[in-house]
Structure 1
Amino acid sequence: MTGNSTGPQFSLLLPVYMNDRADHFERAFLSSTRDQTLPPSEVILVQDGEVPDLLASSIAKMKQSTKVPVRHIEIAERGGLANALTVGLNACSYDIVARMDADDVSLSSRFEKQMEKIADGYDLVGTGMLEFTDDTSEVIGKRTPPTGTATIARYSRFHDPFNHPTVMYRRPAVAAAGGYDDIGLMEDYWLFARMIQHGARVENLPEPLVMYRVGAGAYARRGGRKQFRAEWDLQRALRRAGFTTRFQFLRNFVVRGVYRFVPVSVRRVLYRRLIQRGFRDDTSGAQGQA
């Protein structure tokens, strides 16, 4: 599979940092380039700080393994995901950008199907995901996102309506919303909320087109004082922007704030039964309310 030189042009934005495993990175890279029915026109590989020798070797190996042009950007000191994505977006040659994480797996038709929606005029298109631990043949969960612009907007008043590692978006729409801003693990939610508020056309493909690796510490990282503070900062930002009502602000902070302090085993159950699903019956919205 060669690079995309004749079809729709788009960039693949893939950040990597010291804790990413070399074998996971290689699987992510190949699944999003060589194995795609519509490969990217370029890869923007953002290295956030120094990485171990084994991962550095894998990066060099992957750069040589593909005919897709790879621009390897090295950030001297780790600045976090929001900063890495901002640096990467600024380096993209194309207005359409697909996101990918260094430990997930893209299914072969992912970009082709997302590009069909982008061609219909959408600014942001996500997909469903299948969760796995180590072996992609052993699926342990499925995340089906909301579909339809109105439903997505309503859902977003309580929970992130997009699976971040799956999205494809237009850079001008991201820029119009102010780009990424570092708020804990929720920089994507804050960006997508602002894109929706700024009138971006958004959609999700319910079909799982990305396999999402759920590591041992996935749910532990969603709890604790640091994430509680991030939750507070996020909910205040959503309220100040007029994206949520006073009631929604209080509800979100209480429910999502308590979630940060429950035991990990309980958090896992809550995530699947409540946080992941969101308040689908919340029709109050934020329109017309202060």
Structure 2
Amino acid sequence: MNKPLISILLPIYNAEAFLEKTLSSLTSQTFTNFELIVINDGSTDGSLKIVEEIAKTDSRIFIYNQPNSGLIETLNRGLKLANCELIARADADDIYHPERLELQYRRMNERPEIVLLGARTVKIDSKGRTLYQEFQPTIKTDILDSLAGGFGVIPHPVAMYRKSAVIQAGGYSPKAKYCEDVDLWIRLSEIGEIANLNEHLVYYRVHSESICSVHWKEQRENIKKIATKWQKSRNKEVSENSIWNRPPQNAVDLALFRAGQASQQGYHQSAIRQSLLAIKESPKNIRAIKTLIRCGLNAINPRFPSAKTS
């Protein structure tokens, strides 16, 4: 095996439900010269067994076991374990486009001033069905405007960064619980260029156990502190268009938002499923009923985008 050029950093904790598909998408990348560092953060389910079985047939996988320490400490340990200058983050419930590493490696080689590089995402549900695509900004000025409002527009699970720059920035901060990515991206933006690729390179799974679903309140509070402090240090006004100023979405609002996005993008099956989910949560909700009717019409009306498989 050649000396690896990329270290993939994959923390896992009780991830058996989705882990096998995640590992399959990583080990089948078109760019093959990497090490995959899997840090098992004290899992009590079958996660470790899944990784061990796959590692038997793939020498690129390195397993590190530790008592449960939390994500931030785990990520900082991963930085120490990584043997490569380029580190690609991955999450144990997402699925990766086969060319993810190849495209990011190429851009990082072409642009040595870039210290952090993400990509756009496709949101999927717990069953792996497409919800809708996201179109994150790709240039630094637009990314900074979004970070100022606390929006994590460089998705953590598809980030690639330079190890030396992250160490220079101080690594992941224990004070940034549930928003360690936004905090680190802000600090990296002061060291070098940050960007996103135009391509959609991760199928980003949303489900009831994800951090954004379980810890949204503490996440918003911490993001507000970090982004506000950063804006003041740059002598800039705190953004009114911020994540902490937005009302939290309940299950109905979230399903209807996803239905609208899916319908606009031609994912009609997804739009109908999300509309029905909203009605299930609130059977008499007029907005949900109207959304279902509109999404159904969009699916059969040839004036709208043709339905995509999802």
User: TM class by shorter-chain length?
Assistant: 0.7 to 0.9
Q: Secondary structure at the match of 2:40?
A: strand
Q: Secondary structure at the match of 1:238?
A: helix
Contact 1:147 1:206 in 2 (8 A): yes
Task: Indicate whether 1:209 and 2:201 are aligned.
Answer: yes
Counterpart mapping for 1:1-290 below 5 A: 5=2, 9-18=5-14, 20=15, 22-33=16-27, 35-52=28-45, 54-68=46-60, 70-76=61-67, 78-120=68-110, 121=112, 122-136=114-128, 138-158=129-149, 159-182=151-174, 183-198=176-191, 200-218=192-210, 220-224=213-217, 226-239=218-231, 242-243=233-234, 245-248=236-239, 251=240, 255-259=242-246, 261-266=248-253
Contact 1:197 1:243 in 2 (8 A): no
Gaps of at least 5 residues in structure 2 are: 261-310
More helix by share: 2
Q: Distance in 2 between matches of 1:256 and 1:155?
A: 9
Q: Distance in 2 between matches of 1:66 and 1:260?
A: 46
Contact 2:7 2:35 in 1 (8 A): yes
Q: Distance in 2 between matches of 1:192 and 1:117?
A: 18
Contact 2:12 2:43 in 1 (8 A): no
Shift in alpha-carbon separation, 1:186–1:15, aligned structure 2, 3 A: same
Q: Distance in 2 between matches of 1:61 and 1:176?
A: 36
Q: Secondary structure at the match of 1:115?
A: helix
- Percent of aligned pairs with the same residue? 23
Q: Distance in 2 between matches of 1:257 and 1:157?
A: 11
Gaps of at least 5 residues in structure 1 are: 274-290
What TM-score, normalized by structure 1, do the two folds share?
0.79
Shift in alpha-carbon separation, 1:268–1:229, aligned structure 2, 3 A: farther
Deviation of 1:257 after TM superposition, in Å, equals 2.6
Q: Distance in 2 between matches of 1:116 and 1:11?
A: 15
Deviation of 1:192 after TM superposition, in Å, equals 0.4
Q: Secondary structure at the match of 2:30?
A: coil
Q: Distance in 2 between matches of 1:75 and 1:181?
A: 19
Which structure would you say has the larger Rg? 2
Deviation of 1:178 after TM superposition, in Å, equals 1.4
Contact 1:106 1:210 in 2 (8 A): yes
Deviation of 1:170 after TM superposition, in Å, equals 0.5
2:196 is aligned with what amino acid? N
Deviation of 1:64 after TM superposition, in Å, equals 1.0
Q: Secondary structure at the match of 1:247?
A: coil
Deviation of 1:245 after TM superposition, in Å, equals 2.2
Residues 46-92 of structure 1: CA deviation (Å, up to 9, x unaligned): 1112432x222112112113132x2212221x222111110001110
Q: Distance in 2 between matches of 1:133 and 1:40?
A: 31
Q: Distance in 1 between matches of 2:235 and 2:20?
A: 40
Shift in alpha-carbon separation, 1:23–1:227, aligned structure 2, 3 A: closer
Contact 2:131 2:258 in 1 (8 A): no
Contact 2:72 2:177 in 1 (8 A): no
1:26 is aligned with what amino acid? E
Two-structure CA RMSD over aligned residues (Å): 2.6
What TM-score, normalized by structure 2, do the two folds share?
0.74
Q: Secondary structure at the match of 1:246?
A: coil
Contact 1:193 1:243 in 2 (8 A): no
Count residues in correspondence: 256
Residues 92-120 of structure 1: CA deviation (Å, up to 9, x unaligned): 01111111101111111110011110101
